[in-house]
Each structure stands twice: as structure tokens, then as C-alpha cells.
Structure 1
Amino acid sequence: MRAAELTQDTVTSHDGTSIGYYKTGQGPAVVVLHGSMESARSHTLLAEALADDFTVYLPDRRGRGLSGPHRPDHSVATEVEDLEAVLTAAGATRAFGVSAGGAVVLEAARKLPALEKIALYEPAIVADGAPHRAWLTRFDEELARGDIAGGMVTSMFGFEMAPAFLKVMPRGLLKRMTEKMLAKEERQATPGTITMRQLAPTIHAEGTIVAELAGTFESFRTVTAEVLLMGGTKGLPGLEPGRAALATILPHCHRIEFPGYNHGSSSDPGGVNPTGSPAAVEKIATEVKAFFNQ
């Protein structure tokens, strides 16, 4: 796998907001949309693995890195408009999305006929959005008083990301562990790294997206794009029922479940993905490459 040579550029979304992206590779365009607590640079390994066959675009979703801020009324429609701006600039008919980014790519495929093939890794489509609206209130209050670690703990349970052993720990201990993790990442961060502390405010928009798309499975029957639907057997348990439902609803769907892979297995190691594996990224990229090349 060769190191990606990344260039930068921007496009303007429908509401005038600048959306920045990195670009690498050669061949037909593929847009890669990152997930929660990530940025465009979270999928450089995936981009490297695709770059021999495709020109890969890595946009920063709003609130991160090269892109402008969230709107007060931020919604899935805003995210689709941002993605459409990048797709148009790239001339892309293929897109890959992870988690909340995967949900946005799927919604875009429903609205944008130009998307011919999409690959999704654990898209954040759930049956019931009410639990997400409930925890967002507490999360907002914690961030408003500067309690980043507390907000991240709240979101971890809200997104059902907490492993079983953490669920029995006192909340105060979890906050202290999270603060130490944030501090360690900041000490080790290289210049230009977007840290978890910087990304924490973006969690609100992720929660609203998950809540807004919850229970919308039937609407995706109209998706004409071919879909590669992927996940891991050790991924987020709350997202597996959604994949099962989508596999029966999407008209042109191929599903793959990777044994032992978790929710972050398509992303670079680091940050919220400390156990990430380059080998796992390579395996996922191999499937994505074969699908997009068909």
C-alpha cells in the first residue's frame, strides 16, 4: 500500500458554506464520507488502498477541519447538499460512507439519481429515534459548562457504544478515564491533527441525524443504486438490526459481515479507534474496490 499524496480543495454547498476535501489517486471518482468523531483524515489508509484504481475524495463534514460550521437547523438535508456539492465537483457516481456518514450516503442515494453505486459500513440507521433525542439534552448541557469528558460519556451510552464492562463502572470513573484519554491524545497529536476534544461538539449533529433517519427503512425501497452493505460481527449491536432490515428492503443490495471486525474497522487507527487495524482496512478496501470495479 503506497502512502497517499493528498491535495486540498473546497466546494461551496447550497447554503454558501465551504466544504473542504482532500484528494488522491487516479481513475473514476469515489467520495468517502467519514463517521462520528472523525474527520476527512480518518480514512487515509482506505484512500491509499483505493488510489490505484480511483480518484478518492475525502471531505470534512461540517464542523471539522477544512469545512465550515453547522447551521442552527442542521439536518440530514444539509448533509446531503454538502455531499452533492462534492459529488458534482468530482463528477462522482460512487460513494462510501461510515456510520452517520453512511446514513447520509444512503439518504443521498435516495434523493440523487446520479449515485450509481454506494458502499456503506455500519450505517447509523436505527428503528427508534426517541432515545437519541433524550440524551442530546444532557449532552448539550454538559458541553455548555465545559464538561467535554462528561458529554462524551453521555454520547457513548446514547449511541450504545459502551461495551458491557463499562456499563457497570461509576460514571465519575468513566469521566476521569475519558479526560485522561483526551489529554494523552493531545500530548501525542502531531500538528494539524483534529483531536477528539475538538470533535466533541460535532456529536450533537450526529445525534440529530440518527434521530431524524430513525425508522425510515421503507423509504429506501426507491434507491436505484447498487449497494454494498457491510458491518462487523463485533460492531455496534444497535446498528445490526438496521442492516438486516436494509438488506431486505434495498432493491440492489449485497451484504457482507466481517468476522471480528468492529464499528471502526474501516477507519485509520487512533482517536476513538485505538484498536484499529491496517489489515482490516485493507480487507474492507478490497471488497469496496471489487464492488466499484464491477
Structure 2
Amino acid sequence: MDEMTTSRDGTALAYQVTGQGPTVILVSGAMSTGGTLAPLAQRIADRCTAVVYDRRGRGRSGDTPPYEVAREVEDLAALTDAVGGRATLFGVSSGGALVLEAAASGLPVRRAAVYEVPYADFLEGGAEREATYKQQLHKALSEGRRGDAVELFLRLTGLAEEMIRGARQSPMWAGMEAVAPSLAYDDTVMGDGLLPRERLTAISVPVLSVAGGASPKWMREACREVSRAVPEGTYRELAGQTHMVEPDVLGPVLAEFVEG
């Protein structure tokens, strides 16, 4: 991250600006830093000014307790001010839930786009799964068991047990444990894990909700429902894509939306 700004509560935020054109701030999901979205920023840099940043508690950004979702909305307000005062927001996964909340809160957003916010409304037993994860995650983190917290998250995403065991032995595991406390932040952003329909009606700007055509049906249905819940929503499905979407496929769709 090349530049720094400061949020309302004094938290330092590291960010990087790439490209030229209308501004879009890219918001990463759980277990991610701004660097995770750098390839997407590069892909749209010929059409947009793309801003990536480390959310609080990750990378080079600071962290000021206690955590509240409103503080992350204030982070986006500080970033928006730092890059010109008005921007489109784009969020991946739980980062998309943060984007929708920021737009609903009245942040001066031009437009809002999200990719596969994992609302569990259309997953059988989804509400119960989310409640169990929340309880186990907060217990693990309160007891300092960061590795167990990471395992819980990886299991929630559907990663096979043998792959989780392999991840624990990999060089990247230490980095994953380092950002494990931020899993509680994403869990808080997601609320009860279900789509906040009433809250989404407060969004007054155009919203693009995108899903991968190869993602599970429940995920695609949740993304479609986001577009229906907001006053001005559009749904797009990217053929052959999963939750790990390819920047070369998503980039042109996002850039077109940002350009308006």
C-alpha cells in the first residue's frame, strides 16, 4: 500500500490508487487484504481509478477497538474523501455486505456493486449453520485459538478437511492466523447471515449484484434477491465463474457499471 489516510476514530488506513477514470473503491472479503483485489484493480485501470485498501485489522492498516460496523463505514467515508469525495463502491463476499450497508447508511456513493455476498437465505439449514459458526468462531477467538478460528472459516466455505490440514502446514498459515481476529468483523458485518431486505430498501443508488454461473444455486439465488430488494438493482451472472472469480471476466462488467 502506497498511501495512508485516517478514519474518524483515528485508525490509520493503507490504500493504493491505480488507473484513471471514474473512481471505484474495492472492498475485500474475509481473510483478505487490499492486495487480494490488486489484480482486479489492474484489470480495470484503463477505464477506472481503482482504489484498494487494507480493511482495519489487516495488512498495514491499524485497528481501534471496540469494533463496530459503523467504524468500517467511516473508514470508507475517509477513503472516499481522500480520493476525491465521491466514488462507486465494489465489494466481494462479506465485503459486499459492507458495501451495501455503507450505501444504505447514506454515504455519498455514486453506485454500488457486489459479487456473491453469501446470504444464506436459499441454503437449506443456512440460518442454523450461520448461528453455529458465529458461536464457535467467537468462542475460539475469545480463547486465543486463532488457528481453530481459521479452520472454522475454511470449513464454512466448503473446503475439504484434507485441504484444511494441508493449509495448516503451508507457509501462508501464519499470515492467515495473523488476520484471524478480523473474521469476527466480517461475521458482524454479515449479521445473522440472512439478506437484510428492509435495510436494502434504504439504498438510493444503482446496485449491481453479480454471481458466478458455476457457483451453487443458493448463492446465485441470494445474489439475484439482492438486486430485487434494492430500489434500483441489476443482476448479472458470469458464465463458468465461481466464488473465486477471474479478474479478466469480472473486470469488464464492473468497469462498464462504474462508468455508468
Q: TM-score, normalised by structure 1?
A: 0.77
CA offset digits 1:67-102 (Å, max 9, x no partner): 112523x23212111111101111232111111111
The residue aligned with 2:114 is: 120
Please list the CA deviations of residues 36-94 of structure 1 after superposition, one character each: whole Å capped at 9, or x if unmatched: 1110000111111111122211111111012112523x232121111111011112321
Letter paired with 1:134 = T
Aligned ranges 1:131-280 → 2 under 5 Å: 131-143=129-141, 147-157=145-155, 159=156, 161-162=157-158, 166=160, 174=161, 177-186=163-172, 195-211=175-191, 214-235=194-215, 239-265=219-245, 280=246
**Which region of structure 1 is more displaced relative to structure 2, 213-222 or 223-232?**
213-222
* Residue pair 1:149, 1:178 contacting (<8 A) in 2 also: no
Question: Percent of aligned pairs with the same residue?
Answer: 27
Give the corresponding residue for 1:81.
Answer: 74
Partner residue in 1 for 2:30? 36
The one-letter code matched in structure 2 to 1:98 is: V
After superposition, residues 20-99 of structure 1 pair within 5 angstroms as 20-69=14-63, 71-72=65-66, 74-91=67-84, 92-99=86-93
What is the number of residues matched between the two proteins? 255
What residue is the counterpart of 2:251 in the other structure? Answer: 285
Question: 1:177: Cα distance to partner?
Answer: 4.4
How far, CA to CA, are the matches of 2:222 and 2:228 in structure 1? 10
1:185-242 C-alpha deviation (Å, 9 max, x unpaired) = 439xxxxxx9323222221211122125734212212312111110113336554343
Distance 2:8 2:191 in 1: 23
Q: What residue identity is the alignment partner of 2:28? A: H
CA RMSD of aligned residues (A): 2.5
In structure 2, C-alpha distance between the alignment counterparts of 1:107 and 1:259, rounded to whole Å:
28
Q: Paired residue for 1:269? A: none
The whole-number CA distance in structure 1 between the counterparts of 2:195 and 2:38 is 32
Instruction: Name stretches of at least 5 consecutive residues in structure 1 with no aligned partner.
Output: 1-6, 167-173, 188-193, 266-279
Q: Secondary structure at the match of 1:123?
A: coil
SS in 2 for 1:222: coil
Alpha-carbon deviation of 1:131?
4.2
Go from structure 1 to structure 2 and tell me whether the alpha carbon gap of 1:196 and 1:208 turns closer, same or farther (over 3 Å shift). same
Any idea what SS the aligned residue of 1:234 has?
coil
Amino acid aligned to 1:135: Y
Aligned to 1:277: none
Contact kept, 8 Å, 2:4 with 2:14, in 1: the verdict is yes
Q: Which is further off, 219-228 or 177-186?
A: 177-186
Contact 1:99–1:122, Cα closer than 8 Å, also in 2:
yes
Structure 2: how far apart are the matches of 1:209 and 1:130? 17
Residues 202 and 52 from structure 1, CA distance in 2 versus in 1: closer, same or farther, beyond 3 angstroms? same
TM-score, normalisation: structure 2: 0.86
